[in-house]
Structure 1
């Protein structure tokens, strides 16, 4: 019922019933008591959680008036608050004796630490320091990267009573994003992480959402103990009978929380650095410096611009204009390290949910350097460079394989490729992959799998 513009401006993305049911199930499995515990949803939205809980409580023959005094919500949109109250009343089958959901901004509302369950699908999106009140954000965010859902995570732990549960449906970026290290450390220092659920595909689940989504379940109290096992269930509209995999979190509190694998995953033992390859983010932000974007070279220091759309796996990359085949150029007042003048490859930095791969890379056609002396890429790309063109091409062939893509997805939950995580991704050693590639007649997929297995066998031996 909300327009796309309103959803974006309020960062409002509603929780579908199947996910709400599965999330409530997780809360009950780890100790939420339908008959006793008070509940708060500080981002109540369309009452997905509170109406689901009202239905569960009603089915348990609890008195509607008693339930109405245990369910509590805060919603910034007055219209949604009114609609949500009616939904809850409908599930209870009786009028509400009080405003279960109040209209207001939860981040500016005093809240007592009194709830046995704080459950929410909070708004997403970055905010500026000027829009934040108090200093609590310092415990969970970096000053230049404050996300609304991180602020709601801090609020949720603050609102839960000792040993109360915190259950959040949030972007998977919190699991591994380099700028979410404080959030991971904060969660572990304020309670025990019980489960990190994965939504089984976002397509058709969350309207307008371009990120992978996770469900965090934690119990407020003593810090998460090293060695404690955490469940990693898969939840969503497609039910699965497979048991949730358990594993421990990394030793360092701020380290990434990779998803587990369903079976033993071979370890390659190398990184891009072992291939002599360096990675850096693309340079040119065209919509901020339109005056430097030219249709023709026009001057001595103008270089062709490679757009993300020019990158296709398995094909040489050449510059082609944002609109049509005409090459775009970027002017420079002086020489710059942003100008790539040697062998290079370019990766798409952001992928969409219709693309089967998160990692898409292509070697730049050597003719580009020969003709123009260099090139520059837009900010939605990542540039890979190396002194040895053959080793660089070897790395690019490896990056474009399923085994590498799957390993990257385990540690990244966003559509945007992190340069930091890319540098850290586990790869087979160059000699192993090169030998496997030769033995497989150039089949990179087969070679990647074989190279990982060879490296793992050597480690085990």
Structure 2
């Protein structure tokens, strides 16, 4: 049995030993051999010389170390290799040690095995400098006052998640022109939480390869992870002119790759430094307005239900009760209210000034889910509200309005239809890898003019048409009409 095959056998044996109650907490989603091999293939090895120092933080059973050592032996047998592997779980240490010992026996490498917390560890071996780093870090939110977050901020930059903290420390330990490759959730590439990290990352390293997996479930199938994972390979130093964009359904298929200008990946005028994984996603030329251009505002629903329990009621016959709308009320482009078999109170009783301030005037609004399920067909799910009274929106929704007042109904329906179109969904996915749709995300999206949105509302069938019917109307309408602002 060769090194890669035996390491995969150890990985599976190590997974079987894990305590399910702590596996997610420790982020123990060990990298399958095919994904590890794909990651190792993204690094450049032609210019390596002398002793190549490799860091594998959060090493698990050693799959990533083995894949990289195997490649170095095959392509650069003239260099010596020293691996520093870090693991925090003593249950996994014997499997990791066995992998490193096999690497040593088969290929003559040397290694250091460090047991402990990579992010807070003070072992001198972790400081580098390293030629290469390869990692599948754990992920989980970091509280603002957590020692890990504070240590990472002191080291380089504030980070809201463990996987980003791993990334930061690893970069800080690279030698000049050293390289790294990480498999991580795609959330770092967009959204306000990672904005500060993106600014730091893009000013510190060159993004070399960005690989996207089309399947959420196949990459880590035996660990039950449904996170959208991506591979990012990088070099410490100034950004290169081009980036390789790569894609496969899972780790088993040969990737489809192409080189694109960095300006396609991160647009120069974008202060948020959103990292795009898709080249050439476009919308009809008529869709060149933002909500701000159209004079339309977007806000997050005002009602935080657990803070407003005193106003929530199931009795909809009380005088003065207003509809209480949650994202679960959104159904097929409209709002099902009151919702049959609702889990949450459907009424909001505005009995004092504090409650009254949370109501919106009667009239049409477009309501958008802030959180969509991974299995949803679209990321952006919008609905039209046009109820008979003032209304309260839960803070897990966003709503479109004009200066906090209702929209004109045909304009509102046109906005709802556009937001539910496939062309808009594809554009959204090009810059967002998470299932949360923030108000800031909606402000970034392109829209047709107000006149064109009204025309869309009048042209499309009533309600929310089937996806195929809606997309056909959008394609026909905007491919045939002249640019309304030309």
TM-score range, shorter chain: 0.7 to 0.9
SS of residue paired to 2:377: coil
Cα deviation, residue 180, structure 1: 1.5
- Alpha-carbon distance change, 457 to 191 in structure 1, aligned in 2, over 3 angstroms: same
SS of residue paired to 2:175: strand
Cα deviation, residue 256, structure 1: 1.1
Cα deviation, residue 350, structure 1: 1.4
SS of residue paired to 2:414: helix
Q: Provide the residue aligned with 1:444 in structure 2.
A: 470
Q: Provide the residue aligned with 2:375 in structure 1.
A: 354
Deviation per CA, 1:91-125: give whole Å up to 9, x if none: 66569997643211111123323111112122222
Answer yes or no: is 1:215 the counterpart of 2:234. no
421-430 or 204-213, larger mean C-alpha shift: 204-213
SS of residue paired to 1:271: coil
181-190 or 285-294, larger mean C-alpha shift: 285-294
The CA distance in 2 between the partners of 1:56 and 1:33, in whole Å, is 13
Q: Return the match for 1:261 from 269, 279, 284.
A: 279
Cα deviation, residue 158, structure 1: 0.7
Q: Provide the residue aligned with 2:414 in structure 1.
A: 394
Q: Provide the residue aligned with 1:250 in structure 2.
A: 267
Cα deviation, residue 357, structure 1: 0.7
Answer yes or no: is 1:188 the counterpart of 2:206. no
The CA distance in 1 between the partners of 2:67 and 2:321, in whole Å, is 59
The CA distance in 1 between the partners of 2:157 and 2:332, in whole Å, is 36
Q: Provide the residue aligned with 1:338 in structure 2.
A: 358
Cα deviation, residue 149, structure 1: 1.9
SS of residue paired to 1:352: coil
Q: Provide the residue aligned with 1:234 in structure 2.
A: 247
Cα deviation, residue 409, structure 1: 0.7
The CA distance in 2 between the partners of 1:215 and 1:340, in whole Å, is 44
Deviation per CA, 1:198-242: give whole Å up to 9, x if none: 122212323454542222221112x336xx222221143252463
Q: Return the match for 1:156 from 170, 177, 192.
A: 170
Cα deviation, residue 79, structure 1: 1.5
SS of residue paired to 1:269: coil
Whether contact under 8 Å (1:141, 1:150) holds in the other structure is: no
Q: Return the match for 1:105 from 109, 114, 117.
A: 117
The CA distance in 2 between the partners of 1:136 and 1:101, in whole Å, is 23
The CA distance in 2 between the partners of 1:304 and 1:426, in whole Å, is 31
Cα deviation, residue 127, structure 1: 1.0
188-197 or 300-309, larger mean C-alpha shift: 300-309
- Alpha-carbon distance change, 263 to 181 in structure 1, aligned in 2, over 3 angstroms: closer
SS of residue paired to 2:31: coil
Cα deviation, residue 126, structure 1: 1.6
The CA distance in 1 between the partners of 2:290 and 2:324, in whole Å, is 28
Whether contact under 8 Å (2:84, 2:112) holds in the other structure is: yes
The CA distance in 1 between the partners of 2:109 and 2:443, in whole Å, is 57
The CA distance in 1 between the partners of 2:214 and 2:27, in whole Å, is 21
The CA distance in 2 between the partners of 1:325 and 1:394, in whole Å, is 30
- Alpha-carbon distance change, 374 to 433 in structure 1, aligned in 2, over 3 angstroms: closer
Cα deviation, residue 394, structure 1: 0.8
Cα deviation, residue 6, structure 1: 1.6
Cα deviation, residue 60, structure 1: 6.0
105-114 or 425-434, larger mean C-alpha shift: 425-434
Whether contact under 8 Å (1:12, 1:123) holds in the other structure is: yes
Q: Provide the residue aligned with 2:327 in structure 1.
A: 308
Cα deviation, residue 290, structure 1: 5.1
The CA distance in 2 between the partners of 1:232 and 1:441, in whole Å, is 39
Whether contact under 8 Å (2:160, 2:194) holds in the other structure is: no
- Alpha-carbon distance change, 325 to 60 in structure 1, aligned in 2, over 3 angstroms: closer
- Superposition CA RMSD, Å: 3.5
Gap regions ≥5 residues in structure 1: none
Answer yes or no: is 1:86 the counterpart of 2:98. yes
Whether contact under 8 Å (1:163, 1:219) holds in the other structure is: yes
- Alpha-carbon distance change, 275 to 164 in structure 1, aligned in 2, over 3 angstroms: same
The CA distance in 1 between the partners of 2:451 and 2:35, in whole Å, is 45
Q: Provide the residue aligned with 2:187 in structure 1.
A: 173
Cα deviation, residue 53, structure 1: 2.1
Answer yes or no: is 1:8 the counterpart of 2:21. no
Answer yes or no: is 1:71 the counterpart of 2:83. yes
Gap regions ≥5 residues in structure 2: 1-15, 463-468
The CA distance in 1 between the partners of 2:481 and 2:112, in whole Å, is 58
- Alpha-carbon distance change, 375 to 457 in structure 1, aligned in 2, over 3 angstroms: closer
- Count of residue correspondences: 445
Cα deviation, residue 425, structure 1: 0.7
TM-score when scaled to structure 1?
0.83
- Alpha-carbon distance change, 84 to 286 in structure 1, aligned in 2, over 3 angstroms: farther
The CA distance in 1 between the partners of 2:47 and 2:338, in whole Å, is 57
SS of residue paired to 2:257: coil
Q: Provide the residue aligned with 1:126 in structure 2.
A: 141
